[in-house]
């Protein structure tokens, strides 16, 4: 495998890891506040559909992005209402959101566009185009550094760069601000936070709202940047993979980045079976390569759930003492 092929695989890794990273950070905020969210998949799916549908209808990808975020936040609000306000089972609420999004997106898409549950292809201003960084074209022929800057760092959509900036942003917000300290405290000991006169419900709804925003961006990226339109079940389990990456990362932002890049690498290798076979010198079935991210998800959930300690108040509804 030559150097350029390696760079191309890493480039695909970054693209494929982006929605996983955004969803993983979304789950991180929610679970750090004590709200388990199995509904990441449903939020991403709803955001993917509405962002593509509105982008096609209006011709503006930015309006599509806002619509995707709005759809995701609506489902986040529903999850918050069920699990925070009414103290329902958080896991059941999340699963219900996944089923709701799975059915509604296809139903509305078929009613709206009549193309078998998909949206028309997005072109022009209706989708995010790659951004060429300064001096990328001038440096592309420079040995070693040129391919890294031109192929790997440049040429991504703006949502990829936003996702990467969200990692240090999330770290700073969680570990260097008063809001982050209180958010983490709510996930560990909500009674102590309440005793200090801070609203546990308000902080948990704030975390759920941040989760909705990040899932909205992730879903919009799938349909308006990674692909050019919405198709049925296009999230393909990415929400569940993001949850596995979150457990693997032990609820820490920088570790989440590397965990999602690992899953992205496995997906990128599945697209380049010729490279895998040339390295291993054996024929590898495409089905096996495509299933590697899901196999790793099962391994992580089976081997790390007991070792990775979640927030102590996670999954528990808070009842204010009178």
Q: What is the mean pLDDT of each run of 10 residues along the chain (322 residues)?
A: 84 95 96 93 97 96 97 96 92 94 94 91 93 86 85 93 96 96 93 90 96 97 95 92 90 93 90 78 79 83 70 80 62
Q: Do 122 and 111 contact (CB within 8 A), yes or no?
A: no
Domain regions of the chain by residue span: 3-127+136-304
- State the pLDDT at residue 143: 84
CATH number among 3.40.50, 1.10.287, 1.10.3470, 3.30.70, domain 3-127+136-304: 1.10.3470
- Reduced to 3 states, what is the DSSP secondary structure of residue 131? strand
Q: Do 310 and 184 contact (CB within 8 A), yes or no?
A: no
Tokens read off for 318: 């808070």
Query: Measured between alpha carbons, how far is 295 from 9 in angstroms, rounded to an integer?
Result: 20
- In 118-142, which positions are buried (b, 16+ CB within 10 angstroms) versus exposed (e)? bbeebeeebbbeeeeeeebeebeee
Q: Do 115 and 53 contact (CB within 8 A), yes or no?
A: no
- List Cα–Cα distances, 262 to 95, 246, 257, 268, 287, in angstroms: 26, 12, 9, 10, 19
Cβ neighbour number for residue 314 with a 10 Å cutoff: 18
- State the pLDDT at residue 322: 58
- State the pLDDT at residue 158: 96
The candidate with the shortest Cα–Cα distance to 257, out of 150, 168, 320, is: 168
- State the pLDDT at residue 13: 94
How many secondary structure helices (H) and strands (E) does the chain include? 14, 0
The candidate with the shortest Cα–Cα distance to 300, out of 268, 256, 234, is: 256
Nearest-5° Cα angle at 27, 256 to 202: 130
The candidate with the shortest Cα–Cα distance to 95, out of 36, 31, 34, 28, is: 36
31 burial level (CB within 10 Å; 0-12, 13-18, 19+): buried
Query: Measured between alpha carbons, how far is 253 from 148 in angstroms, rounded to an integer?
Result: 25
Tokens read off for 129: 């185009």
The candidate with the shortest Cα–Cα distance to 47, out of 291, 299, 223, is: 223
pLDDT in tens, 38-85: 999 999 999 999 999 999 999 999 999 999 999 999 999 999 999 999
Tokens read off for 88: 């329902």
**Residue given tokens 């709803």 in the structure block:** 46
- State the pLDDT at residue 306: 61
Tokens read off for 207: 């975390």
Cβ neighbours for 116, distance < 8 A, ≥ 6 positions apart: 110, 232
């Amino acid at each position: 495998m030559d150097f350029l092929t390696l760079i191309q695989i890493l480039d695909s890794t970054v693209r494929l890891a982006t929605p996983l990273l955004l969803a993983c950070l979304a789950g991180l905020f929610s679970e750090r506040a004590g709200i388990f969210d199995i509904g990441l998949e449903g939020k991403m799916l709803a955001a993917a559909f509405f962002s593509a549908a509105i982008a096609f209808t209006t011709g503006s990808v930015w309006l599509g992005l806002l619509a995707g975020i709005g759809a995701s936040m609506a489902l986040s609000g529903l999850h918050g209402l069920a699990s925070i306000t009414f103290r329902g089972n958080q896991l059941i609420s999340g699963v219900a959101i996944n089923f709701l999004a799975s059915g509604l997106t296809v139903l509305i898409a078929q009613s709206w566009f009549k193309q078998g549950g998909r949206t028309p292809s997005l072109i022009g201003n209706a989708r995010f185009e790659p951004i060429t960084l300064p001096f990328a074209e001038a440096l592309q022929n420079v040995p070693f550094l040129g391919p890294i800057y031109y192929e790997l760092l440049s040429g991504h959509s703006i949502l990829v760069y936003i996702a990467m900036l969200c990692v240090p942003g999330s770290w700073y917000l969680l570990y260097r601000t008063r809001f982050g300290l209180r958010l983490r405290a709510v996930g560990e000991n909500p009674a102590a936070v309440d005793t200090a006169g801070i609203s546990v419900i308000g902080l948990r709804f704030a975390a759920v709202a941040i989760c909705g925003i990040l899932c909205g961006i992730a879903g919009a990226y799938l349909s308006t940047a990674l692909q050019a339109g919405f198709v049925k079940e296009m999230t393909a389990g990415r929400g569940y993979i993001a949850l596995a990456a979150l457990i693997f990362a032990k609820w820490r932002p920088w570790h989440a980045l590397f965990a999602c890049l690992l899953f992205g690498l496995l997906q990128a290798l599945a697209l380049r079976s010729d490279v895998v076979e040339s390295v291993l010198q054996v024929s590898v079935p495409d089905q096996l390569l495509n299933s590697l991210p899901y196999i790793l998800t099962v391994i992580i959930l089976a081997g790390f759930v007991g070792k990775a300690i979640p927030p102590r108040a996670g999954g528990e509804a808070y009842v204010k003492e009178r």
